[in-house]
Structure 1
Amino acid sequence: MTTPTRPNRPRRTATVTHVRRLTDELVRISFHCPDLIGADLPHTDHYVKFIFGGEDQPRPVTRTYTFRRINTRTGLFDVDFVTHGSAGLAGPWAQRAKTGDILTFQGPGGAWRPAEDYGHFVFVGDESAAPAIAAGVEKLPAGATADVYVEIADAGSTFEMPEPEGVRLHWVPRNGATHGTKLSAAVRSAGIPHQRTSWFVHGVAEMLKELRRFLFLDSGVPREDVSISGYWRIGMTEDQWQESKREFNAELEAAEAG
C-alpha cells in the first residue's frame, strides 16, 4: 500500500505585530505576511505549520496552528497559542514573543467551512480547536443556528468567542479531569438535534473514540455530516502524534465496522 504524499506547501515568513494574553494559558499573537495578500482562503479551518529550530534543517521541527483570523487584503493574521510553562517549543516561544520577531511557516492548508445546505451546526473542541470553531461560527450561513461546546481548564479560563444570534455557547470546564472526558459527556448528554446537522468535532484524540461511537454507532449520524479529527494526543509530541495518527484512526474505523 502506498502512503499518500503530503502537499509540498511553500515556506513563508511572518512578522509579529502584536502580542496579547487572553488567559493564563492562552496567548494571541498577530502576524503580518505580505505573501498572503490576495490568497484564496475559502475555509474556516486554515492552518499553518510554524517551523522551529532554523529553516535550513533537512527535517524541520514544525507545530501546527489554526488561524483565528486572516485578512487576505492586508496579510494580517491572528494565532492563539496554548502555553504550558516551559515545556515544548511553540508555547515557550509564544510566551517570549515580542513585536518584530520573525517566524517561518509552511501553508496555509485547510479543508472545511460551514456548508450552505445545513440549518444547524454543532461545534465541539478544546482550546486547540477554539480558533477554527470561532472562525466557523463567524461564517455560518444566513439563518443557521449552532451549539458550541468548548472545553476549558476551569470556569475562570473563558476567552473571547463569537456568540451571534442563534448560537448557544456552552463552556465545559475540565476542573482537573482528563482532557476530553467532560466534553464528550456534555455532547452525549445534549443528544442529537432534530434537524439535519453538520458536526465539527476536533481537539484531543482521546475524546474521538467516545464521540465517534456516540455519533456513528449509537445515533446513526451520516459520516458525510461530520468533520472529526484529533489535533493532538495526551503524552505525545506533535511529531509522535502525526506519525501514529493514521494507525489510530484506522483502529477506530475497524472497531466501528466490527
Structure 2
Amino acid sequence: MANWQRGVLRLMGVRNHAVEVVSIKDFTPWYRRIVFSAPEFVRGLDVFPTLWLRLWVPNPARGEGEVSQRGYTFVDVRPGDGTFALDFVLHETAGPAGEWARRAEPGEKLEAALTPAKISVPDGTTAVLLAGDATALPAITSWLAHVPDTVAVRVYLEDSHDDHLALPQEPRAGTEFTWVTPDGERGAALAAAITAAESAAPDRYAWAAGERSLVKAVRPVFRDHLGLDRSHSFTQSYWIEGRSAG
C-alpha cells in the first residue's frame, strides 16, 4: 500500500500511532518476536482474540521514503508497561515487512494503526477448535490468552520445521496441541488430522488461518464434517505460496 493510501485511511478516521522497537527475541531462526513501546497506543486498548493492527514498514522497492502496510496480530499486550509484541514468520520469499523484521534493531520507529474488527463467537460456546500454519500462531496465542477457562480448546497446526516445538505456545489448562507434518498438497494432512480426530459437536466454534490453499483444504472440514455454519466458524487466508509474504 503506497503513501497516498495511508492518507485515505486517515481520512476514514484510521489514526496512526508511533511505535518503537525495544527488544527482539528469536524462538527459531525463522520465527521472531519484536516488542514495541507505544504507551499511547496500548492505553485503554480493548484486547480480544485476533485483535490486529496495520504496521507501516519501509519499502525501498517502491522508492525512497515509500512504505507499505501489513497486518499483524497483537501478542503480549502490557498496558502497564506501554508495550505490545508482534510475531514475524521470516518467509524465504519475504515481503517488505519480513525484510524489515530481519534487520530490525531496538530504537527503530514505525507507525501502526488499529483495526478493531472483532470476531463474533456465539453465546454458549463450550469448545473451540483452532487450526492453521505457523503464521496463524500469533492469533492462536491471542485466542488462548483470552478464551474463558471453562472452554475446551484444541489446536491443530501444520508445519514442516523440525524445531516447531520451540515456538511460543500459550500455557493454558484444557488445551490440546496437535502438530501435523505436511503430506502431499498443503493443508491435506491438516484436514485429514482434524477429520480423523474430531466429530460434530454442539456449541463448538472453529477458526482457521494461514496459507490460502491450506485454508481452502480446511474449510470444507468445518462445513461438511463438523457441520458448522458461518456463525460457528471463521477462516482467513494470510498469504499465498509463491508470492512475497510479510
Report the counterpart of residue 170 of structure 1 in structure 2.
178
Partner deviation per Cα, 1:165-201 (whole Å, 9 max, x = no partner): 21111112337x5543322222222232534211111
Answer with 222-231 or 58-67: which moved more. Answer: 58-67
**Percent identical residues:** 22
Q: What residue in structure 1 maps to residue 19 of structure 2?
A: 14
C-alpha separation in 2, matches of 1:221 and 1:119? 14
User: Matches of 1:86 and 1:237 in 2, distance apart?
Assistant: 5
Q: Tell me the secondary structure at the aligned position of residue 193 of structure 2.
A: helix
C-alpha distance in 2 between matches for 1:119 and 1:87: 38
Match of 1:100 among 98, 107, 129: 107
TM-score, normalised to structure 1's length? 0.79
Q: Gaps spanning 5+ residues in structure 1: where? A: 240-258
State whether residues 132 and 215 of structure 2, in contact with CA within 8 Å, keep that contact through their aligned partners in structure 1.
no
1:38 deviates by 2.5
Distance across 2 between alignment mates of 1:132 and 1:152: 16
2:192 alignment counterpart: 185
Verify the 8 A CA contact 2:52 2:74 in the aligned structure 1: yes
| 2:68 paired with 1:61 | yes
Task: Identify unmatched segments of 5+ residues in structure 2.
Answer: 1-7
Task: Report the 3-state secondary structure (helix = DSSP H, G, I; strand = E; otherwise coil) of the residue aligned with 2:135.
Answer: coil
Instruction: Give the secondary structure class of the aligned counterpart of 1:213.
Output: helix
SS of alignment partner, residue 74 of structure 2: strand
Counterpart-to-counterpart distance in 1, 2:119 and 2:113: 19
**Structure 1 residues 87, 133: closer, same or farther in 2, change over 3 A?**
closer
Is the 1:113–1:136 Cα contact (8 Å) retained in structure 2?
no
- Structure 2: how far apart are the matches of 1:126 and 1:28? 17
CA separation in 2, counterparts of 1:64 and 1:19?
19
Report 1:1-258 matches (<5 A): 8-53=13-58, 60-85=67-92, 87-112=94-119, 117-158=124-165, 159-174=167-182, 178-237=185-244
Alignment partners' CA distance in 2, 1:230 and 1:151? 14
**Structure 1 residue 121, shift from structure 2 partner:** 0.7
Higher relative contact order (CA 8 A, sep 6+): 2
Secondary structure at 2:220 match in 1: helix
Residue equivalent to 1:254: none
The residue type equivalent to 2:24 in the other structure is V
Specify the SS of the correspondent of 2:227. Answer: coil
**Greater Cα offset, 98-107 or 18-27:** 98-107
The answer to whether the 8 Å contact 2:93/2:244 transfers is no
Contact conserved, 1:114 with 1:141, CA < 8 A, in 2? Answer: no
Range that drifts further, 16-25 or 178-187 = 178-187
Q: Residues 140 and 99 (structure 1 numbering): CA distance in 2 closer, same or farther, change over 3 Å?
A: same
Structure 1: how far apart are the matches of 2:119 and 2:240? Answer: 21
Take 1:42 and 1:21, find their aligned partners in 2: how far apart are those partners? 24
Over 3 Å off, 4+ runs: 5-8, 57-60, 113-116, 236-239
Kindly report the root-mean-square deviation, in angstroms, between the aligned alpha carbons of the 2 structures: 2.8
- Helix, strand or coil: the match of 1:182? helix
- Matched position secondary structure for 1:104: strand
Distance 1:49 1:191, change over 3 A: same
Q: Give the 3 Å change call, closer, same or farther, for CA 181–27 of structure 1 in structure 2.
A: same
- 1:28 Cα offset (Å): 0.5
